[in-house]
Amino acid sequence: MPKKVILDVDPGIDDAMALCLALFNPELDVVAVTAVGGNCPPDQATRNVQAIIEQLDPPRWPRIGAASPPDHALPVDGRYLHGSDGLGGANLQVAELRSRHPSEKVISDAIRATPNAVTIIALGPLTNLARVFLRDPELTSMVGEVIMVGGTVSGPGNITPAAEFNMYCDPESARTVFRSPLTKTLVPLDLTNQIVLSYDLFNKLPDESTRVGKLLHTILPPAFRAYRQRFGQEGIHVHDSVALMAAIHPTLFTIEGMAADVETAGELTSGATVFDRRRVPAWRHNLGVAIAMDREKVVDAIIQGLHQAAKR
């Protein structure tokens, strides 16, 4: 029985790759793809979700949720890495802008439609999830689990010295989700930074004669250029695809129960994820954290997954 999932995304080049993997994976039933602002503004994120799905034309089209503005303006612009339109400047055409249900309503409806059977895979800021569970706390007991990408356990941030991008964009929402009684798993930068999509791996991706290959060959080269110019790094991180692998291939990951919260007021530390790892912790465990993975097998699963997707 395919696992019912909702993908909450801020596409975002690595979000787009994760969507390629998820939308064609026979083990997943992607019931909804909901947009959230982050790598690009909310309206662009919504447009990108629709454009990606139109480009890929998956066997089963998910419901689409429209991102609404966060309570506070995004504190950072992710387009330095993801391009002017969030997808490397691909400027993908959208056939028609469908009626747009807000992401938080699409998520709520999907949970109610199949209680205790939906996994939410959060690949962007946690704005939508916080809204869903603040407005309808009963839903926290109706979700299967939440898998989130972001935060850092002991490594540095990637958007500030202290904070990872998704948590930094909306720390209040991140704190709300961390403090909720949801069954949560966090895939932090400490892990996702261990994988770099090199040029060699890029050359192993499906070719442009396929829908998946055509999209990846359009959006990835600008990301390689941005990583080289910004970080002097040859190769790109694919954070969201790594987190998706935790949902598809959980045995490739080691998960440890931890106690964590999110800084919301620090002048220098806003968005930092703080873990109670004292010898005698005072905070109660509130989430599982992916502390290790079989890196080679995760890389292989991503590449093979993209080839499977290209054949569908």
Cite the active site residues.
239
Contacts of residue 54, Cβ cutoff 8 Å, sequence gap at least 6:
92, 93, 94, 95
Exposed, middle or buried by CB within 10 Å (0-12, 13-18, 19+), for 283? middle
Residue type, 272: A
16 binds Ca ion (CB under 5 A): no
CA 251 to chain centre: 20
CB 151 to ligand RIB: min, Å: 9
288 neighbors 256 (Cβ within 8 angstroms): yes
150 binds Ca ion (CB under 5 A): no
Binding to ligand RIB (CB under 6 A) within 221-250 occurs at: 239-240
Answer for which of 45, 123, 143, 293 binds ligand RIB (CB under 6 A) is 123
Give the other-Cβ count within 10 Å of 154's Cβ.
Answer: 9
Beta bridge partners of 287: 258
CB 128 to ligand RIB: min, Å: 13
CB 36 to ligand RIB: min, Å: 9
**Cis status, amide bond into 12, omega within 30 of 0:** yes
Exposed, middle or buried by CB within 10 Å (0-12, 13-18, 19+), for 46? buried
What is the contact mask toward Ca ion in residues 68 to 107, using x (rule: CB under 5 A)?
----------------------------------------
CB 68 to ligand RIB: min, Å: 17
Nearer to ligand RIB, 58 or 124 (CB): 124
Nearer to ligand RIB, 192 or 210 (CB): 192
Q: What are phi and psi of 149, to 5 degrees?
A: -105, 135
Task: Give the 3-state secondary structure of 73-140.
Answer: CCCCCCHHHHCCCCCCCCCCCCCCCCCCEEHHHHHHHHHHHCCCCEEEEECCCCHHHHHHHHHCHHHH
39 binds ligand RIB (CB under 6 A): yes
CA dist., res. 295 & res. 248, Å (int)? 15
88 binds ligand RIB (CB under 6 A): no
123 binds Ca ion (CB under 5 A): yes
215: partner contacted, choices ligand RIB, Ca ion, none (Cβ within 5-8 A by kind): none
158: partner contacted, choices Ca ion, ligand RIB, none (Cβ within 5-8 A by kind): ligand RIB
Nearer to ligand RIB, 12 or 41 (CB): 12
128 binds ligand RIB (CB under 6 A): no
SS3 content of the chain, % helix, strand, coil (to 5): 40, 20, 40
15 binds Ca ion (CB under 5 A): yes
Binding to ligand RIB (CB under 6 A) within 138-177 occurs at: 149-150, 158, 164-166
Binding site for Ca ion (CB under 5 A): 10, 12, 15, 123-124, 240
